[in-house]
Structure 1
Amino acid sequence: MTANSGIGFELAAQLLASQSNTVLLCSRSRDKGDDAVRNLKARGLAGSLDLVILDVAEEASIYAAAKHVEEKHGRLDHLVNNAGIAAPRDVSVFEGLDKSFRVHVMGPAAMVEAFAPLLQKDPDSNPRDNNTTTTTTTTTATECRTPRVINVTSGAGSIALRAASPPGTVHYRPGIGPYCVSKAAMNMLTACQAADYGPLGWKVFAFNPGFTASNLSEINRVEHGAQPTSVAAAAMVDILEGKRDGEHGGFLNVEGQEVW
């Protein structure tokens, strides 16, 4: 999980409350990643933590990270794709779409492909960790292990909401086309991954955290009504613990299902 700030950081903190969990915290920046690790360790949490340097927009970085995880941890239980960027400004349409798709679509697609062999590994064959989650993710050794993938998307990726929203509402702001289009594509990517990996016993979800305080944009602030990161993180912990496996392949939010 890319987790040096925001929802990813809070999710890592909640997972680390359990001694049986190992969180592989991913960061593009070594300095920011080290800061996140120090801040998490300062909380005295019971779980184990490892920093993985990874740029989800670069294919070579993704496969290098997968190799590192295999060599150090042997396997992976769950994968959380939560890297995100706001709609690029002052760039061409081509460049804006390219940046958004690299982070929201191409990266998550490559993450699943690169880490699939580790998610498929039998825990007994590589008993190096208890529970491991990569929060792009942690490995959990259980008698019947179910790999879970969460693609963190947005209500802005809902075509139904966009079509039904009148001008001036949150889903109709000008200039956010590349963000909306890439998140809609992420939703379809999730549906495809659910179809591809579901027969192998995986559970795959698109998850909309809702309007949450983060560094995504200047709008995502508590003073503007954004919910604390703890709300979305707690819902994601429930998903990783199997409490929403019946919604495999769905477009989830904190309380239920989103419209596609």
Structure 2
Amino acid sequence: MDSNKTIILITGATAGIGFETASLFATIPSYHTIIGARSVEKGEKAVSEISSKNPQGTISFVLIDVTDDASISAAASTIAKEFGRVDVLINNAGLISHAPSLRAQLRESFETNTIGAAVVSETFTPLLLKSSKAKMINISSGLGSISQTLDPKNPYYKAPVAAYMMSKAGLNMLTAYDYARLGDQGVKVWSFCPGYVVTGLSGTGEKGVQERIARGAKSPKESAEGLLAVVEGKRDADVGKFIRKDGVYGW
């Protein structure tokens, strides 16, 4: 492995925004992208699919379940042995819970969207601190913005996904906390809203995908382009903020 390559880990990268981001990054010769997935089969399939497109960069897979501390630690050990550092950590793994009660939805949402990201960030901090260009990007949502939630002009005003909204607001606090914790050590941290795009986030299969398209969802490739701009340093002026592709959200 070329030691000059930018080492990028993306959790939950076998579909949707994570997959499209890995696919885009794989076109860049100076990047090595690590697809994080909790399924060996899906992770290896994603690597194979992206590699078959003759990428200019390099790509690999690491097994990581963000709801399992042992899995997170094992992934960090694997990456430490192989690469020695992480230059960019993208906390992308996320879900919208359809559990039968609010309590169950909150537990499921926070476990993946907030707690998982927090533990991954803490576990990989030593590897980020070994980088001279460390970046941490938490994939949030405009639905996690308190100011947006209180704005009647917001197109998603009163969106009926309370657990998801609260979990993403918690993720935004993680961003603020890690920026305060790590910013003076050279780690740049952002929350990033990928926009309303076509993903399998809701876990409702093709039906859910088609419903998102009908409501005007865009391609996740646009989200990938926005993330590339962050990695390339084009959003450094907004470090420590809650950004979207074309601007900044209020917390």
The answer to whether the superposition gives a TM-score over 0.5 is yes
Please tell me the residue identity of whatever aligns with 1:208: C
Q: How far off its partner does 1:25 sit?
A: 0.4
Distance 1:50 1:73 in 2: 11
Q: Which residue of 2 aligns with 1:52?
A: 62
Distance 2:152 2:66 in 1: 31
Q: Which residue of 2 aligns with 1:108?
A: 117
Q: Which residue of 1 aligns with 2:106?
A: 97
Q: Which residue of 1 aligns with 2:76?
A: 66
Number of residues paired by the alignment? 235
* Corresponding residue SS for 1:233: helix
Q: Which residue of 2 aligns with 1:161?
A: 148
Match of 2:158 among 167, 172, 175: 172
Superposition CA RMSD, Å: 1.6
* Corresponding residue SS for 1:205: strand
Distance 1:171 1:69 in 2: 41
Q: Which residue of 2 aligns with 1:190?
A: 175
Q: How far off its partner does 1:166 sit?
A: 7.3
Q: How far off its partner does 1:170 sit?
A: 2.5
Q: How far off its partner does 1:71 sit?
A: 1.1
**Please, which runs of 5 or more residues in structure 2 have no aligned partner?**
1-9, 203-207
Q: How far off its partner does 1:165 sit?
A: 3.1
Distance 1:166 1:200 in 2: 39
Please tell me the residue identity of whatever aligns with 1:30: V
Q: Which residue of 2 aligns with 1:134?
A: none
Q: How far off its partner does 1:79 sit?
A: 0.2
* Corresponding residue SS for 1:172: coil
Please tell me the residue identity of whatever aligns with 2:164: Y
Q: How far off its partner does 1:23 sit?
A: 0.5
Q: How far off its partner does 1:29 sit?
A: 1.0
**Contact 1:88/1:99 (8 A) holds in 2:** no
Is 2:232 the counterpart of 1:241?
yes
Q: Which residue of 2 aligns with 1:119?
A: 128
Please tell me the residue identity of whatever aligns with 2:201: L
**Contact 1:119/1:147 (8 A) holds in 2:** yes
Distance 2:237 2:187 in 1: 12
Is 2:87 the counterpart of 1:77?
yes
Match of 1:41 among 37, 46, 51: 51
Identical-residue share of aligned pairs (%): 36
* Corresponding residue SS for 2:56: coil
* Corresponding residue SS for 2:200: coil
Match of 2:242 among 248, 251, 257: 251
Distance 2:153 2:226 in 1: 29
Please tell me the residue identity of whatever aligns with 2:240: G
Please tell me the residue identity of whatever aligns with 1:207: F
* Corresponding residue SS for 1:210: coil
Please tell me the residue identity of whatever aligns with 2:118: A
Q: Which residue of 1 aligns with 2:200?
A: 215
TM-score, reference length from structure 1: 0.86
Distance 1:16 1:166 in 2: 39
